[in-house]
Structure 1
Amino acid sequence: MHVIEIDGYRAVIKYNPDIEMFRGEFTDINGGADFYAKDTENLKKEAALSLKVFLEMCAEDGARQ
C-alpha cells in the first residue's frame, strides 16, 4: 500500500491486478472520492480531478470535507 498527497489530502493507492489499474482513495475526508488509472502520471491527474469534484460538491452542499 502506498500513499500520495494531493493538495494536502492523503490518498491510499493499491494496484488491482484483475483490472490492471491503480486505485486510489482519499482517507482524510468525510466521504468517498476514489480514482483509477493505468499509470502513476495519470493517477495523479485523476486524483486531483476526483478531489476537485468532491470539494466542489461539499461546497455546494455546505458540508465539511
Structure 2
Amino acid sequence: MNGMKYKGYCARIDFDPEDKIFVGRVIGINDVISFHGETVSELESAFAESIDDYLSACKKLGQKPNKTYSGNLMLRIPVDVHAAVATAAEIKGQSINQWAARVLEEAAHAH
C-alpha cells in the first residue's frame, strides 16, 4: 500500500529514485500539504508534523482546515444498475445505503 493515515487525513506515498527519498502528499483536501523522508520513520514523523503544523496554522489564521471526506456520496448510475442494487440490498435485508457502503468498503480494501 502506498498510503498513510494520521488524524483522519490520508497521504499518498511515492519514492523519488533520483533523490532517494520517500515523498508524501495529503490527498482528499483542497489545500496542498506535502512532506518527505529518507526512511519510513522519518516519513511518518514528517507526515504527523505536517498535519499538526497545518492544523495549528489554520487555528492561528481563524480558518477551518479542509476536512477529509464528509461521508456523503452521490452517484449517477444507469437505471438497470440502480434496479440491480436495490434488489441485491433487499435480498440482504439492507437499505441501498447500507448495502452500497459495505460493497464499496470491500472493494476499496481489495487493492
Runs of 4+ aligned residues of structure 1 deviating over 3 Å after TM superposition are none
Structure having the higher Rg: 2
- Is there any run of 5+ residues in structure 2 with no aligned partner, and where? 66-111
Q: CA deviation at 1:57?
A: 0.7
Q: What TM-score comes out, normalization by structure 2 length?
A: 0.54
- 8 A contact 1:26–1:32 mirrored in 2: yes
Q: CA deviation at 1:38?
A: 0.6
| Equivalent in the alignment of 2:12 | 12
| Equivalent in the alignment of 2:27 | 27
Structure with greater proportional helix content: 2
Identity %: 26
The one-letter code sitting in structure 2 at the alignment partner of 1:36 is H
- Is there any run of 5+ residues in structure 1 with no aligned partner, and where? none
Which of 1 and 2 has higher RCO (CA within 8 Å, sep 6+)?
1
RMSD: 1.4
Structure with greater proportional strand content: 1
Q: What TM-score comes out, normalization by structure 1 length?
A: 0.88
